[in-house]
Amino acid sequence: MKLAFSTLGVPGLPISDVVRLAAAHGYHGVELRAHPEEPVHPGLDLTARADVAAEFKSAGVEILSVAGYTRVAAPGDDEPVIAELRALLDLARDLGAPFIRVFPGAGEDQSPEEADAAAARRLGTAAEYAADLGVRILLETHDSHRTGAAAIRVLGLVGHRQVGSLWDVMHTWLGGEQPSTSHAALAPFLGYVQVKDIASPDDTTPLPLGAGVLPLTECVDLLSRADWDGWLCWEYEKRWYESAPPLEGLLGAGREHLARLLNESA
């Protein structure tokens, strides 16, 4: 498996510094948070996109994913959502990233059936465009669809190889789902896996990997036993927790912890 980290842990950091940190600490790739407050987002012009791609390539670091904020199950018209999807797909294509990340984001007044249908319809519409660009859309286990069981209700309706799953191990665990159940549901659709650690279900402040309660060992073991050869991405949510220690000082130990889990499960 390859190891990456998310720029959510280093909010606003210039791309040159992100690349330097990844290379210095032995990470194979980076998940880029695509938000206007970050250096990389859909409003970036073509020259800037080419510069970002070149900087990663020269350092031998891959751009794993463009992590967007499109909510595919949200109430409202389809076209604005589809337009957001296409903008993220264009950005990923220009950067050479194989994936984009999207959220479910169903509204409180929607029935599960309505939300699933809306998400599947929009993802299905964007799937052919994604196929033309060679980029895969990944629905993260998050918010209204935080478990594997909920996510595959949508993915099963879509039924297109360009639409898959992003397994956020914290959200499936907080949703009361055992790792084995999450893995069984998501494995046929799996793009990559977000790992992290927290103190408890009531305190999701990010902790160094291995210092919290999330079942990372079990998750890595399940993936290894299935001979899955994808990506583990450390999503350290510093952006939302200002009191959390800086990610920069934790990257080396975090990589060593993941490498140890991989070795033990081999």
Compute and round to an integer the Cα radius of gyration of the chain: 17
Name the domain count of the chain: 1
| Domain residue limits at 173 | 2-265
Whether residue 203 has pLDDT greater than 90: yes
CATH number of the structural domain spanning residue 235: 3.20.20.150
Q: Amino acid identity of 35? A: H
Whether residue 12 has pLDDT greater than 90: yes
Beta strands 190-195; 198-200: pairing state: unpaired
Distance CA 106, CA 114 (A): 9
* pLDDT band for position 258 (cuts 50, 70, 90): very high
On average, the pLDDT of the chain sits at: 97
Q: Does pTM top 0.95 for this prediction?
A: yes
| Mean pLDDT of all residues in 99-104 | 98
Distance CA 46, CA 185 (A): 38
Scanning 134-225, the segments in alpha helix (DSSP H) are 148-158, 169-174, 179-186, 216-225
Q: Amino acid identity of 51? A: D
For residue range 113-149, list pLDDT tens digits in order: 999 999 999 999 999 999 999 999 999 999 999 999 9
Closest CA to 254 of 229, 235, 227, 228: 235
